[in-house]
């Protein structure tokens, strides 16, 4: 599987990290996130909307709004491995206890809650979709973006994000599974600046500390001409 595209603009947030210069300094060092560091404040998201969103969704919508203020994309793609896992757990616990779920949890538990909030707040009637593809959610989002670009869309906004994993699920996941809110937003256009090809692995790759989008950001911002992003059964080779 091959992908070729340009990144026209970008924005990202994670514990202790925000702003492009801050991320560039981070990319010059170890590819680690201080998960206990404070989350960046949301600068573009209305307070009433922010209160209804989980931490990762807040970062995703806020970063998306930042790029929407600077550009006019034709379509938007949100990717998330876990989505609103915490809300879904609360709904299941309520049902198991024979109590009504929270109306807010029920309304905001669907996988497209974040992208829906983005289009509502921005009042932008954009073509939108939400994807989940396990560890490879970000990379599959890039494949989806290339499909949009080949179909005639000029600019596609891709936002990858995730939330803190509820304690109930952590014993069932590998110890290295990323477990903190973050968001990476990329404004993509057709082009040849970045190339990616996938290589199938015979065995599942070991879990990593960084989600795919942050691993990509670290390699891309570091100025390397080639770097790899690992998936569950694919290795994604990037060149720029």
Tell me the angle at which helices 212-221 and 20-27 cross, rounded to the nearest 10 degrees: 80
**30-34, 79-83, 180-184, 201-205: which has the minimum mean pLDDT?**
201-205
Count other Cβ atoms within 10 Å, centred on residue 113. Answer: 21
pLDDT of 33 over the 80 cut: yes
**Alpha-carbon separation of residue 18 from 152, 184, 226 (angstroms):** 32, 10, 25
pLDDT of 205 over the 70 cut: no
For residue 157 the two structure tokens come to 């906004």
Q: For residues 84 and 56, what is the distance between their CA atoms, to the nearest angstrom? A: 9
For residue 236 the two structure tokens come to 């994604």
Q: For residues 87 and 85, what is the distance between their CA atoms, to the nearest angstrom? A: 6
Closest by CA to 57, choosing from 130, 146, 127, is 130
pLDDT, tens digit, 9 for 90 and up, residues 120-145 = 999 999 999 999 999 999 999 999 99
Structural contact between residues 232 and 134, judged by C-beta atoms closer than 8 angstroms: yes
Within 8 A by CB and 6+ apart from 112, the residues are 78, 128, 129, 130
Please indicate, yes or no, whether the overall pTM of this predicted structure exceeds 0.85: yes
pLDDT of 108 over the 80 cut: no
Q: For residues 3 and 144, what is the distance between their CA atoms, to the nearest angstrom? A: 10
**35-44, 196-205, 218-227, 230-239: which has the minimum mean pLDDT?**
196-205
CATH number for the domain spanning 200: value is 3.40.47.10
pLDDT of 207 over the 70 cut: no
Give me the domain span that covers residue 95: 2-239
- The total number of structural domains in the chain stands at 1
* Strand 156-162 to 75-79 pairing: parallel
């Amino acid at each position: 599987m091959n992908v070729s595209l340009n990144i026209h603009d970008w924005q990202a947030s994670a514990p202790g990290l925000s702003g492009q210069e801050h991320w560039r300094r981070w990319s010059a060092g170890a590819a680690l996130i201080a998960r206990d560091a404070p989350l960046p404040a949301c600068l573009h998201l209305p307070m009433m909307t922010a209160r209804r969103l989980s931490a990762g969704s807040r970062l995703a919508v806020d970063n998306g709004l930042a790029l929407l203020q600077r550009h006019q994309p034709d379509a938007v793609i949100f990717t998330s491995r876990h989505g609103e896992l915490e809300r879904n757990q609360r709904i299941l616990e309520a049902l198991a206890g024979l109590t009504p779920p929270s109306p807010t949890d029920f309304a905001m538990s669907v996988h497209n809650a974040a992208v829906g909030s983005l289009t509502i707040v921005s009042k932008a009637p954009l073509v939108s979709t939400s994807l989940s593809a396990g560890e490879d959610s970000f990379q599959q989002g890039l494949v989806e973006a290339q499909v949009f670009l080949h179909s005639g869309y000029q600019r596609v906004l891709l936002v990858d994000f995730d939330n803190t994993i509820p304690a109930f699920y952590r014993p069932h996941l590998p110890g290295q599974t990323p477990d903190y809110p973050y968001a990476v937003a990329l404004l993509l256009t057709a082009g040849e600046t970045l190339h990616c090809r996938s290589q199938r692995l015979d065995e599942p790759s070991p879990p990593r500390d960084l989600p795919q989008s942050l691993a990509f950001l670290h390699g891309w911002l570091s100025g390397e001409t080639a770097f790899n992003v690992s998936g569950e059964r694919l290795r994604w080779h990037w060149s720029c």
